[in-house]
Amino acid sequence: MTGSHLDSQPKGGKYDGAYGVVGGFEALEAIERAGIETRRPIELVAWTNEEGGRYQPGVMGSGVFVGDMNFEAQLDILDRDGVRLGDALAETLASTPGIARRSFGFPIASYVEAHIEQGPRLENENKTIGVVTGIQGMCWYIVEISGDEAHAGTAPLRSRRDAAKAAVSMVSALEELTADETDTVRFTVGRFEVGPGSPNTVPGSALFSIDLRHPEARVLEKLMAEIEPVCRANARGCDVSVRRPMNTPPIVFNSTMVDVVRRQAGALGIPAMDMPSGAGHDAGYVSRVAPTAMIFVPCAKGLSHNEAESATPSDLAAGAATLAACLVELADKG
């Protein structure tokens, strides 16, 4: 099986997802035109709602397919305008008559998904194919700090419990903790709030988020074990609570499958490099039920989730050619 998704972000580009579906069709047509017969059928999939832009959560089609999400429950989810997913889905199906219905969870011998990289590594390294070794792990934390509100003019610094300064100390210490010469750790504080938010009151409360990612479970777990102790050590007399609302461990793709992509790109003479995926994909869910691999192609300046998303025809063709070669090998094998 090959494919990807066709939905996008509110201001997304035209390659994220769509390339894996259109590229999959190209590969199937090329295989048919070449008169190649395979022992196994090759199926193309367009997973529903990977991005989660209109209906949350995302990665829904593959999540339902592998049995991690309940189908009926997803149908009742509403978009911002109150449209039920079940109704939107029925409309989509009605507009594409003649497509045979498939059951969820049918066995898949192997799955290969082509996708734009959505990052700058291939472009920087002057490579055309990213041989994706897995999907990096990701966890989220919410750190809440409470101190004491006080008068900014009269309260001596020594006796203050300043939640904002504690939060700043924590973020600095966490930045030191996650410092990485190889630039592989991804540490982001995307939300930072201070209360009550008045210039002449010492802040009594603060909250910040942490998004932490790494492709290796060992490294990620080591860092995760330090998050709360580092926050507590930098609390400056304030109370701290640390929650972890999300923890998705890293995924390592089947090494035989990764080798197929590496070998076929090599056989076609296309410059390739191994790399983990920084973003999540349907392939992550599918890898739970079938040997899985991904093929990345470069996108201009690594830009994605942006209308300016772009990729060159020759790179896209190289990715589709690699995909076709992988599909032929995988569908033929006994």
Q: Given the rule CB under 5 A, which residues bind Zn ion?
A: 16-17
Give least dist CB 119 to Zn ion, A. 12
Q: Cβ(61)–Cβ(282) under 8 Å?
A: yes
Nearer to Zn ion, 48 or 234 (CB): 48
Q: Please, what is the minimum distance in Å from the beta carbon of residue 228 to Zn ion?
A: 33
Do 246 and 139 touch, CB atoms closer than 8 A?
yes
Element (H, E) at 116: strand 111-116
In the bound state with Zn ion, the residue whose beta carbon lies nearer, of 164 and 294, is 294
| Smaller CB separation from Zn ion, 45 or 210 | 45
Backbone angles phi, psi at 135, to 5 degrees: -120, 130
The least CB distance from residue 50 to Zn ion, in Å, is: 6
Q: Which is nearer to Zn ion, 203 or 284 (CB)?
A: 284
Asked if 155 and 207 touch (Cβ cutoff 8 Å), the reply is: no
Integer Cα distance of 173 and 179 in angstroms:
10
Query: Looking at beta carbons only, is 16 or 149 nearer to Zn ion?
Result: 16
Which amino acid is it at 153? G
Q: Looking at beta carbons, which residue is closest to Zn ion?
A: 17
Please state, as a whole number, how many other Cβ atoms lie within 10 Å of the Cβ of residue 203. Answer: 27
Q: How far is the CB of 55 from Zn ion (least distance, A)?
A: 15
By C-alpha distance, which of 141, 155, 262, 313 is closest to 212? 141
- 249 contacts: CB under 8 Å, gap ≥ 6: 137, 217, 220
Residue 318 Cβ, how far from Zn ion at the closest point, in Å?
A: 19
